[in-house]
Structure 1
Amino acid sequence: MAVPSRLAPLLDQFDFTRRRLADRLTGPKMDSGDGEYVEVPAITDEEYLWEPVAGCWSIRPRAAGPGPGATLLAGTGPWGRDGGRPHPWPPPFTTIAWRLAHLSEMLALRAEYTTGGHALTEDDVVHHGDAAGGLAAFEAAATAWRDALVTVGDAALDDIGRCRYPYGSDPEDAFVDVVWWVNQELLHHGAEIAMLRDLYRYLR
């Protein structure tokens, strides 16, 4: 199926942003933004879980229980993501591990509620306490979301509730607006992760 003209720039933006974030985390080089490639070290497990301030939310061993201000560890398996509803205000500062897990969870579940079985929840998501596992989960989730996008024809972009992701306004939104929203989530959390990498280099 040909990519609809309205979707093409959003898909290109998603592809570029996804690759830029992955390269920023794995190295060995990344595009600096002006076409020049600069060396980037791969993220370590220590950096992935680094808590730069007190009270961070992160990915934690389930046996340790939730972190400060969290009421649960979301997901399944030996590691969980600090969470709880209603979310505290002001929102807690989050680690690279938490932010990457948030992106992976959002992408995987939105794919599930667009072209999948519409059954998985945040309780079914497996979180990872190591950088390699977190990166692999991100790549799998990003691929699933992209695969869902390329099945959509032009008319479907206007469908209300084509994605029925239960943790946002998706059931009330046109699908093209959901695609836009996912891109801005990837852009802004990707920028936050990049800033945390800079801070880690200077403060550790």
Structure 2
Amino acid sequence: MPPDYTLVEETYLRGPGRWALPADGATRAPLAVFTVPAGYQGRDHYIWTHDEADLAEHPGQVLYRSPTRVIPDPCDSSEPSTPLGPSVQDLADALSDQQWTTTSTPVPATLGGHRGLYLELTSDPGVDFATCRSGDGMVLWESGSRDSQRVLEFAATDRYWILDVEGRRVVVTAMTPSSATGASVRRVTDVATSVTFVTP
């Protein structure tokens, strides 16, 4: 029987649908499958939307990855970093120690049947993204290589569910700009929290 989801690859997708993302940075991790409504798009390991009420100001994005390096100064990704430990708590601690961002206190969470921690990371007020030496904005972390980076290009909040899924640390993220309305935030987090994990 064919799967009931479509793998997000190079082919451009437009919602609605059930879309699967692989975990960049974690080989052999299960796929994350999201229930995606109309108004969303997908391609190349990304799922994103733009709030129909304000296309320019309220984009949203959902990712599924496994960070392997957290950048201490996200405005200078060339700076050396402390090796990242393997646990859920190790990643939460590294994000909390990062410059130019503020994280909420991690709290226990369960998502898609797997336990972990939930936290919110917000870019600090006054960050000039255009002058960051990292290039396109703040490079928060990498998953596997410099070719797979988490970059913020504007003031935003990244919501993290850091999970242990079958012995592999992964994160589901839901990003919205700091200016996003409550309704916009709910629409994006609803997609993130719809996740189920499947082994292809």
Report the TM-score when normalising by structure 1.
0.29
Pick the structure with more helix per residue: 1
Normalization by structure 2: what TM-score? 0.30
